[in-house]
Every structure is written in structure tokens, then in C-alpha cells.
Structure 1
């Protein structure tokens, strides 16, 4: 079995090493207290008054907005999956700050304060802006089920959209 290094030292060497370590730590502790105070004050200064090029270390909060603020409102062409074969209808939509999408029959019903016909809570949805995008998405999502039937299906034949109009498929 090996002998420990401290076992080879006699009492004189042990006390000599302890004295060296104590004197070194005593001289270092004065320097450490001075530098720690300066570094801590610098850290506090950086938190309170950040430099122009850097960000401060204090946490800031985003401004609180009213969830009823309107991000977008306008008329869009709208169709539901349960109304297949029907024409696209013009609906008045309102997108709120909390990203709820309210769908009203018309701008008049919205202005009267009537309840929305449909309110969508988004959870990873997609807004399609062209008929081609909706066909592509439908073909991609139903490719394994329908195996090419989509191209001849009459459900995909819809009215041509006007330029610049938006279609939402749900």
C-alpha cells in the first residue's frame, strides 16, 4: 500500500508549510477584498446604467397591450370544410392582439357590436392567400388517403378569386 505524502512530513515541515500558506492567504485576502469591492460596484453600475453598445443586465418587461387591440381588420374570401361545394363567401375578419381571429358576416354586423360568427384560437394554423396554396396543402395532407382522386374531385373547383383577395381555409 502506498504511503500518503503527508505521512512523510514531520511536524516541523508541516508547521512550516502551514505558515507559508497562512501568510500567502493573509496577503491575498487584503487584495481580494479591495478588488471584489471594485468589481461588485462595477457590476452594479453596469446593471443600473448600461453602456450604449451593450444591453443592461436588469430584466425589462415588454409593454402590456390590451388584448382587444386590433392588429388587422378587413374583408377576406372564406370557405369552411363543412361547406364543400359552396362558393367562397366574403367575410369581415378581425385579428386581435391575442391573435384571436373573429369572423363576422359583414362589416355592418361588426360595427353593430354583434357577436362574431366564428372565433378561432390559433394553435399553429396556416393562412392561405391563394387558391393554389390551398390546393397544394390539400393534396399534400390527403395524398396518402385519396391517391390521386383529388385532381378529378369537383370539390376543388371553386370560383376564381379576384386579384389581391385573401382566402382562409378552415
Structure 2
């Protein structure tokens, strides 16, 4: 089956495969779902990576498979997440967002409670979800949201944080 590789807004790549039950070809899927301004290319049969972690990058000539495996991005533990929130200033950002959310109706309080629980009560925290949360908070007009690049750069530092043992290593 043919697949489509597209350039994402962040400069990365995403691979789309038409669902077999839709009957859509790769060309039809591209025409239907990919905006005109987005760079994309249909990959030949067998050209798509076998594993989702196979690395690709976008060049001026289009997508280029580099064949190396990309290490998965680790999820953060609650302690690492707390470190991350303070490292990036995202804790203050989240508090501003939670304060700004309306809480007059049950539905509004459900949104507020959901955001608060997601930020402070999860068992693990993922980078992709954090970037989505940052985008939602930016859309609220909160000025102190760290840039995606800053969030991504701080993530491995937070993942390496090992509580009190990290303090002893310095």
C-alpha cells in the first residue's frame, strides 16, 4: 500500500496511510486532506519505514529517509514533571491558564478540572501531550508560554532528573 509523507509545521515529517476500508488511494487522500501549502510526497510501495521510529528528515529536495532509529521520547514521572514545570516556567503558565478559565457552569468547571488533573495528577507525562497543552494555552492568549523548542530542549533534562540523587551529582 502506498503511503504519504508530509512536512509538519514543526519541520518534522508525518506518514499517512489510507485506511483500506475507505477505498481512497494515496492520491485521493492527499487531495482530500492535505492543505495546498503543505509539502508532501507519495512514497512507493516498500519505501515507507518498516518501523515508526525509522528516522526521516525533510530536505529542499523533499523527504529523505536516513535509516537510523530515533530513540523514543521518554515519558516523565511526576517528580520529573515537577522539575520540568519549574525549569521551563511552565508551572506559572499553567497557573495563569487555570486562573483564566471560566468556571461559571458545570461544563466550564469540567474543562478547568480536567486541565488541572492532567497537569498535576497524571502518573506520567508525554512530550506530545505537553506540546498540545502549550498550544491550547497559547490560544488562550497567555503570554508566558514557553516556545515548543524550549519545551523540547528541556524535556531530556527533566527526563534525566533523578530526585535527590541528581542533587548529589552536581
Q: TM-score range by the shorter chain?
A: under 0.3
- Higher Cα Rg, which structure: 1
TM-score using structure 1 length: 0.20
